Structure 1
Amino acid sequence: MNLQTSNSPHISVLLNEVLEIFKDIHEGIIIDCTLGFGGHTKALLEQNKNIKIIGIDKDSDARNYACNLLQPYNDRFTCVAGGFGDKITELIAKYGKEIRGVLADIGVSSYQLDMPNRGFGFDSDILDMRMDSTNTFDAKYILNHYSSYDLEKIFSTYGELRESKKLAQLITQERTKKPFYFAKDFSVFLKSYFKNPKILPLVYQAIRIEVNQELEELKKLLNASLNLSDALLCVITFHSLEDRILKQTLKEYSQSCICDNSVFKCICGNNHQKGKLLTKKPIIPTPVEIKKNPRSRSAKMRCFHFQKLD
C-alpha cells in the first residue's frame, strides 16, 4: 500500500503538542491506540529513546504501512491488530504498571476518506466505511436493512440532525425502488431532498460511527483507563459527540466528591479522585497547522494523569 495513492498526504495531527505532553516519560510502555500510519509513534520513539510503544489498529492497510515505516524500531515497537476498545483492556491487564502513557487519535484518516475503494467519501463508488475490512457489517447494510426507526435513531444521535425522521422515511421509501449500492448515488439522493450543505457530512458521519461503533470504543477505552497507574491518557477527538463524552468522563475522574448536588454535606467519603485533569480547556491546532492541514481544524486533545495505584 502506497500513501501516495491518496489525494492527501498523511499528516499526524497535533504532533508537537503530543510530543510535549509525553516528553517526560523516559521508560516503560506507551500504547498508541490508533497507530494509523505511525506518525505519532515514530516521533515518540525518536524523542523518548528508552520507551517501548505498542500500536493498535484495526485497519490492515495502516498496519502494514506503519510496520514497514517502523522497522528500524522493531526492538521497541510492537503492532497489535484489532479495535482499541477491546485490546486496551487486555494490554493494561498484561503490562500493568509498565504502561506510562496511552494515546488515542480517534479521527478517520485522510487516506480512508480519499481512497474510493474504502467507501468513506461522498463520491466513492461503494458504500462501505469499514475501518476493519474483515468486518461484514458496512454502510450499505445499514442503508438497505435498518428499519426507519433505527435509521432515525442513528441520524439523530450520531448526526444530531433535526431532519432525522424525514431522512429515515425517505431512505426506506427509496430503497424499495432501488437499493443503495454507491456512495455517489446516495449523495445525489441526499442533495435532491436537502439543500443544507451540512446534511451530507453529518449523515456520513452518523453512518460511519454506527459501522465502526466509534463511541462505544471510546467508552471502553475510558473505562479501561481506570486501571492505569501513574500514567498519562491523551485523547484527540474530531467531533462534538466524542469530545462531549471525553470531557464529561475526565471531569468525573478528577472529582473527589461524587455526592449528588442536592446533598448539603458530603457523605461519599470525598476520596474518589482518579487523578489530575491536565487540560481544563482542550488543546487545539495552531493556525499554522490548520493552514498546512485543514482537516486538523476540528481536532481537540484532552489529557489526564492517573494517580499511582497501590
Structure 2
Amino acid sequence: MTMTKLKQRSLLGLKELSKEEIESILDRAAYWEQHPNKVHTAMQGKFAANMFFENSTRTRFSFEVAEKRLGAEVLNFSAAVSSVQKGESIYDTVRTLESMGIDAGVIRLKPIGVLAEIATKIKVPLINAGDGNNEHPTQALLDMYTMRKQFGNLNGLSVSVVGDVQHSRVARSNLWALQKFGAKVRFCAPANMQASDLDVPYVSIDEALKSDVVMMLRVQLERHETGMLNSAESYREQYGLTAERAAKLAEHAIIMHPAPINRNVEIDDELVEHPQSRIFPQMENGVPIRMAVVERALS
C-alpha cells in the first residue's frame, strides 16, 4: 500500500485532518447509526487488532463492538498480559501482528510520539485510540457527533472544556477539530492544570457555564500525591459541576464528559443522567463513529 493511501486510511489525529475529511467520517457514522441491522458483512474476512498498551475498558469495548458490527474478525491484545512486560518493544509487537496478516490496528499507548513513528514503518492503517496526552481522535469525533446531533451545526457553537487540560488528549483533539468548524472553544482549569502549549482563552467556572456545551474532564485522582490537587472536595468546590452550578446553565445547553466519571468530584452524581446530560448518549455515539473509522481503515 502506498504511503499516501495508508495516510488516507489511518487516523492518527485530528490536528492534521481536514474539515472535509472529518465531516465525511461524521456523515458515515450517521449512516451506520440509522442502519437497521446490528451486524453487517461489510468487513467480512478482514482482521482488526486492538492493541492496548495502556488500560482502557470503554474505548476498547467500543472499538470491539464497532468491528464486530462491521463483520470483521477481532484480535484483542492487552499489554498487561503480554511480552511487552518482558521488554518487547511496542514497535516489535505491532510489527509481529502485521506479519501475521492483520488488515488494520487500533492502538493506545502512553508515550507521546511513538505512534507517529510506528506509523511510518508499518504497512497497515493504524487508528489512534489515545496516545499519551497528545490526541484521542475518536473521542473528539464522537463528541462532535453528539454536538452536531444536538445543535445541527458546529459553527458558532461555544464549548467550554473544564478540568485538567494540561494532561488531556481529549481537550486537544476537541480543540483542534472544533476550531476547523468555527466553534468557539474556551478552557477552564486551575493554574497548575493549564496547558501553556495551547493558544486558548481561559475563563472562570462561572463564565464557562454560559456556554452551549460544558465538557467536564475526568480528574485523575492519582495526581493527588504530586500535590496538583489538594483534595477531591476542594476541586469539586472550585471546579466541579455541582447541582447548584448546573442550575445556572442555559436551557439549551448540554453537559458532556469523556468518562470514566469520578462522581461527586468533577460532576455531581445526580447530574450524570440529568435531562441536559449527554454522557451516556456520547458512549452510544462512539460505536457508529468507530464503525466509520474502522471501515475507512479496512476498505
TM-score band by shorter chain is under 0.3
Larger radius of gyration: 1
